[in-house]
Amino acid sequence: SAVISQKPSRDICQRGTSLTIQCQVDSQVTMMFWYRQQPGQSLTLIATANQGSEATYESGFVIDKFPISRPNLTFSTLTVSNMSPEDSSIYLCSASLGTSGIEQYFGPGTRLTVT
């Protein structure tokens, strides 16, 4: 298994600013992912964070708005840029072990409120 931590756990930000969320895994993992979850709703995949290359974004998400870094096999960051109230959400990172990616482990999430 893998233990995943995220920083910050929550934040309140002003419109137009940016926030970088950090995700740390306690072991080397093949793949890392970023999700968004509106309170009381399901998870939507934002992007796959690839080590050593650009992230792969899902439809509706773009690099300018959600730049992602993955400098090594245990760490990734997601930046929410030029925030608006619509970006208020819970942001979760996850990691999968091995190449099959069958079992994903999730961090506790970062609750973002944009005012």
Residue numbers at the binding site for other proteins (CB under 8 A): 4, 31, 33, 41-45, 48, 58-59, 92, 94, 96, 100-109
Rounded to a whole number of angstroms, the minimum distance from the CB of residue 107 to other proteins is 5
Cβ proximity to other proteins, 81 vs 88, nearer residue: 88
Residue 110 has a CB neighbour count (10 Å cut-off) of 22
Q: What is the DSSP letter of 87?
A: G
State the minimum distance, in angstroms, from the CB of residue 82 to other proteins: 26
* Minimum CB distance to other proteins smaller for 43 or for 81: 43
- Cα→Cα distances 70→22, 26, 97, Å: 10, 15, 16
Q: How far is the CB of 23 from other proteins (least distance, A)?
A: 11
Token pair in block for residue 106: 């999730």
